[in-house]
Amino acid sequence: MTVLAKPYLTDVDASVEQLVYVREDEYTVARMSSDGLAGFVASGRALAGVQPGETLRLAGEWEEHPRHGSRLVVRRCERVVPSTVRAITLYLGSGLIRGIGPRLAHAIVSHFGEQTLTVIDTEPERLTEVVNIGAARQAQIVHAWAEQKEVAALMVVLQGFGISPLLATKIYQVYGDGSRDVLTRDPYRLIGQVRGIAFHTADRIALRSGVPEHSPQRIQAAVLDRLETAAARDGHCFLPLPALLAAAASLVEQEEELIRRAVDALLAERRVVVETAPDGPGQVVYAKEQHGREVALAAHLARLLRARSTLPLRAFEEHKGLDEDQRAAVNLALTSTVSVLTGGPGCGKSYTVRVIAATVRAMGGTVTLTAPTGKAAKRLSELTRLPAMTVHRLLARQPEREEGTLFQQSPAEADLIVVDEASMLDLQLATRLTAAIPAGSHLLLVGDSDQLPSIGPGSVLADLLRVEEVPRIRLARVFRQAQDSGIVQAAHRIRAGELPALPGRGGFWFEELDDPDQVADRVVHLATEAIPRKQDIGRDQVQVLCPMRKGATGTAELGRRLQERLNPAREGTAEHWSGPSVFRVGDRVMPIRNNYDKGVFNGETATVTAVNPQDRLVEIRTDDGENVTYTFDELDELTHSYAISVHRSQGSEYPFVVAPIVAEAGGVMLRRRLLYTLVTRAKSWVVLVGQREALELAVHRLGYRRNTGLALRLALSLES
Residue 68 lies in a domain: yes
Question: Please, what sign has the CA dihedral across residues 197, 590, 564, 582?
Answer: negative
Q: What is the pLDDT of residues 589-643, one digit of tens each?
A: 999 888 888 888 877 889 999 999 888 999 999 987 889 999 998 998 999 999 9
Distance CA 511, CA 522 (A): 9
> Is residue 404 scored above 50 in pLDDT?
no
Distance of alpha carbon 88 from alpha carbon 114, whole angstroms: 8
The answer to whether residue 675 sits within a structural domain is: yes
Residue 610 and residue 465 share a domain: no
Closest-CA residue to 469 (of 621, 695, 305): 305
pLDDT at 597: 85
The percentage of residues in the chain with a pLDDT greater than 90, rounded to a whole number, is 67
The answer to whether residue 662 sits within a structural domain is yes
CA distance 688 to 486: 13
Instruction: Indicate whether 237 pLDDT > 90.
Output: yes
Residue 654: φ, ψ to 5°: -125, 145
What is the C-alpha separation between 432 and 421, in angstroms, rounded?
A: 17
Q: What is the pTM of this model?
A: 0.89
- The pLDDT score that the predictor gives to residue 94 is 87
The stretch 655-668 carries a mean pLDDT of 87
Query: Bridge-partner residues for 78, per DSSP?
Result: 57
Cα-Cα-Cα-Cα torsion 110, 114, 118, 121, nearest 10 degrees, comes to 50
pLDDT at 665: 61
> What percent of the chain has pLDDT above 70?
95
pLDDT at 678: 97
Exposure class string for 67-103: b at 16+ Cβ within 10 A, else e: eeeebbebeebebeebeeeebbbbbbbbbbbbbbbee
- 510 and 443 assigned to the same domain: no
pLDDT tops 70 at residue 310? yes
- Does 347 count as an annotated binding residue? yes
Whether the per-residue pLDDT at 307 is higher than 90: the answer is yes
Pairing of the two strands 28-34 and 37-44: antiparallel
- Dist. CA 358–CA 228, nearest whole Å: 43
Q: What is the mean pLDDT of the chain?
A: 90
User: Do 547 and 638 sit in the same domain of this protein?
Assistant: yes
Confidence of residue 480 (pLDDT cuts 50, 70, 90): low
pLDDT band for position 400 (cuts 50, 70, 90): very low
Calpha distance 555→545 (Å, rounded): 8
Pairing relation of β-strands 2-3 and 55-65? Answer: antiparallel
82 and 61 in contact (C-beta within 8 Å)? no
| Domain shared by 240 and 387, yes or no | no
Distance, CA of 628 to CA of 621 (rounded, Å): 6
HSE on the CB side for 273, CA within 13 Å? 16
- The reply to whether 195 and 227 lie within a common domain is no
Interval 58-94: pLDDT, tens:
999 999 888 878 899 999 998 898 989 999 999 998 8
Average pLDDT over residues 557-563: 96
What average pLDDT does range 432-451 have in this prediction? 95
Residue 317 in this model has a pLDDT that exceeds 70: no
Output 162 or 125, whichever has higher pLDDT: 125
Is residue 356 a part of any domain in this protein?
yes
pLDDT at residue 635, rounded to an integer: 92
Let me know whether 35 and 165 are in one domain. Answer: no
Measured CA distances, 137 to 105, 127, 134, 146 (Å): 13, 9, 5, 14
Span of 162-171, 229-238, 685-694 with lowest mean pLDDT: 162-171
Residue 5: which pLDDT band, with cuts at 50, 70 and 90? very low
375 is in an annotated binding site: no
Provide Rg for the chain, Cα atoms.
28
The sheet that has 282-287: what strands, in order across it? 238-240, 282-287, 272-277
Domains contained in the chain, number: 6
* 508, 489 contact by CB (below 8 A): yes
Q: Is 322 within a domain?
A: yes
CB-based contacts of 406: which residues, under 8 Å, 6+ apart? Answer: 366, 367, 368, 369, 386, 387
Among the candidates 60, 79, 98, a domain finishes at 79
Residue 484 pLDDT exceeds 80: no
| CATH code for the domain of 258 | 1.10.10.2220
The CB density around residue 197, as the number of other CB atoms within 10 Å, is: 22
Claim to verify: residue 239 and residue 147 sit in the same structural domain: no
Instruction: Place 315 in a pLDDT band, splitting at 50, 70 and 90.
Output: low
Residue at 708: amino acid letter: T
Residue 506 has pLDDT above 90, yes or no: no
Q: What is the tens place of the pLDDT at every residue in 101-125?
A: 889 999 999 999 999 999 999 999 9
| Predicted local distance difference test score (pLDDT) of residue 392 | 87
Among 28, 53, 79, where does a domain finish? 79
Residue 409 is predicted with a pLDDT of 60
Domain span at 43: 10-79
Q: Is residue 574 part of a domain?
A: no
Residue 105 lies in a domain: yes
Residue 159 — very low, low, confident or very high, per pLDDT cuts 50/70/90? confident
Q: Is 459 annotated as a binding residue?
A: no
> Is residue 77 a known part of a binding site?
no
Query: In this model, does residue 718 exceed pLDDT 90?
Result: yes
Q: CA 620, 549, 452, 236 torsion: positive or negative?
A: negative
Three-class SS state of 609: strand
Is 346 annotated as contributing to ligand binding?
yes
169 pLDDT exceeds 90?
A: no
Is 387 found in the same domain as 256?
A: no
Residue 687 has pLDDT above 90, yes or no: yes
Q: Is it the case that residue 1 has pLDDT exceeding 80?
A: no
Task: For 98-143, give the DSSP string.
Answer: TT--HHHHHHHHHHHGGGHHHHHHH-GGGGGGSTT--HHHHHHHHH
Instruction: Judge whether 706 lies within some domain.
Output: no
Do 375 and 244 lie in one domain? The reply is no
Cα separation, 676 vs 673, whole angstroms:
5
Residue 686 has pLDDT above 50, yes or no: yes
**Over the stretch 178-200, which tens digit does the pLDDT of each residue have?**
998 898 888 999 998 898 888 99
Residues 274 and 389 in one domain: no
* Among 290, 321, 341, residue at a domain's last position: 290
Is residue 151 located within the same domain as residue 165?
no
58 lies in the same domain as 178: no
Q: Please, which pLDDT band fits residue 35 given cuts at 50, 70 and 90?
A: confident
CATH code of residue 27: 2.40.50
CB-based contact 612:384 (threshold 8 Å): no
Sign of torsion over alpha carbons 309, 311, 313, 318: negative
Here the CATH number for the domain that contains residue 438 is 3.40.50.300
Helix or strand (DSSP H, E) at 505: none
User: What pLDDT, on a 0 to 100 scale, did the predictor assign at position 481?
Assistant: 61
- Specify the 3-state DSSP secondary structure of 196: coil
What per-residue confidence (pLDDT) applies to 15?
94
Average pLDDT over residues 273-291: 88
Q: 3-class DSSP state for residue 314?
A: coil
